[in-house]
Structure 1
């Protein structure tokens, strides 16, 4: 199951920036690797350190004005969830699945995809794009096109 935070407002960005700075100060002082304790509106909350690190990352991305999506790695995604993650149409994702570019399994008539397989495909695709752009920039420089 995926949880999303769409592009944060300017106010959310400001609050996220202050919050991540405070969390980093707190987490930098403690040596405890297992949990951190916060007091929120009079209630004490114990949070595992790894969850605090994830929260720091979410707040950092929000402070930069970016959307954030968290996907549980133990769950399987539907084709629509996977398409939403990759920001492609569901029919395009189905073509990627059927051509073997992304592994999947069928549960009845439904296709299910592991989040790590979607993330791996996304990482490989991003790397290919980066290399292609680097090559184009290099060629433009060699041709003296002012890039």
Structure 2
């Protein structure tokens, strides 16, 4: 996973401002602008920007990664919130797709997110 961009949590002052704006939106997708120039992006992208800001405002640092990125067992465990050993068991049992790179298991972020969503709905 390319970890060149990690956004730190917002300062207390910025977090309060962002939280207030998000509450005003009341679930609506915000308009997005860069340096005052409006961007015509779909509601999915606007909601993603809002979720990024929500996470940063709640004190969470965020890493942005492409969905197709391959992750190590340790990274996969972190995404799923489980141990490395449990991730290896999921992979070895076929319940979690893997790609082998030599003798190393690699996991697609999109597969991990799908697995996490499926197990959360049970």
Provide TM-score, normalisation by structure 1: 0.58
The structure with the largest alpha-carbon Rg is: 1
1:38 to 30, 35, 40: 35
Partner of 1:89: 83
- Report the CA distance between 1:12 and its aligned residue: 2.7
Partner of 2:111: 117
Of 51-60 and 95-104, deviating more is 51-60
- In structure 2, C-alpha distance between the alignment counterparts of 1:2 and 1:126, rounded to whole Å: 27
Partner of 1:12: 11
- In structure 1, C-alpha distance between the alignment counterparts of 2:121 and 2:15, rounded to whole Å: 29
Tell which has more relative contact order, 1 or 2 (C-alpha 8 A, sep 6+): 2
Q: Give 5+ residue unaligned stretches, structure 2.
A: none
Could you give the per-residue CA deviations for residues 92-115 of structure 1, whole angstroms, max 9, x where no partner exists? 110110011101111111111111
Q: Give 5+ residue unaligned stretches, structure 1.
A: 31-35, 40-44, 129-147
Provide TM-score, normalisation by structure 2: 0.68
Distance 1:112 1:47, change over 3 A: farther
Question: Which structure has more helix as a fraction of its residues?
Answer: 1
The 3-state SS of whatever aligns with 2:70 is coil
Aligned residue pairs: how many? 111
- Report the CA distance between 1:125 and its aligned residue: 0.8
- In structure 1, C-alpha distance between the alignment counterparts of 2:68 and 2:40, rounded to whole Å: 19
Could you give the per-residue CA deviations for residues 30-63 of structure 1, whole angstroms, max 9, x where no partner exists? 7xxxxx3316xxxxx8977466653321111333
